[in-house]
Structures are given as structure tokens and as C-alpha cells.
A = this chain, B = another copy of it.
Amino acid sequence: MSGAPPPTGDDLVRVLATLANPHRLRVVAALARERAYVSGLARQLGISRALLQVHLRKLAAAGLVTARLELSEDGKAMNYYEVEPFVLTLTPAVIAAAVETLTVPDSGEQPGAQR
């Protein structure tokens, strides 16, 4: 009835940690305008490919962007990235709900009930 699915605590932390970086925000902003391939995006943002690779990987791991390997007309393999149309609403209430499903970093975590 809401609009976005309730994120689990661990997912929330992962997404927030991923988004909490200027470079990654710029990447999302750039991809929101138009999809791009790695080398081109690196030039556009003025950062090294290696650095961009790391950031793209984290964004992909958080499910915020997706990669699509394509063959260009001249036969080169281009890895195109595009943003996932996510919608995340953050309020004390949704955080309180997400915290209920937070895994404890301590001993072994199993997906049972905590408390």
C-alpha cells in the first residue's frame, strides 16, 4: 500500500553506505541522465578507470545500477551501466522498522529471530 518495499536493516546500511560517497553520487547522477560505458564515464567524471570500477561495483552490489555488456558496431566489448529506478524514503519510522531486521556482527548470524 506504500510505494517502496520495506528494506531489511542490512540492506539499508549497505545502500546508505554506498550512496554516502561523492564519486558514487556523481556516477548515479551521470547515469540518471544517460547510460554510459566505463571508460567514457571515467573521462566524463575526470577519474581513473580503476577508481570508477570500484565505485561501480559497489553501486551494482547495492542494486543501484546494473551492467549490460554489449558489442559495439566496430566489435569492441562495451560494458554499459544504467541506474535502477530506485525510490527510498527515509524517516525515523522506516528506520525503526528496518532496525528490527539488523544482523548482529558478533558471533555467527543466522536468519532466525533475534532478541
Contact = CB atoms under 8 A, between A and B. Distances in A.
A81 B85 CA distance: 35
Interface residues of A, number: 32
Contact of A89 (B20, B88, B99, B105): B88
Q: What's the number of copies of this chain in the assembled complex? A: 2
A94 B93 CA distance: 21
Interface string A15-47: 011011110011011011100000000000000
Given A33-B96, A87-B91, A20 B22 contact: no
B86 A32 contact: no
A60 to B, nearest CB: 15
A51 interface: no
Nearest to A33: B96
Interface of A: 9, 12-13, 16-17, 19-22, 25-26, 28-29, 31-33, 83, 85-93, 95-96, 98-99, 102, 105
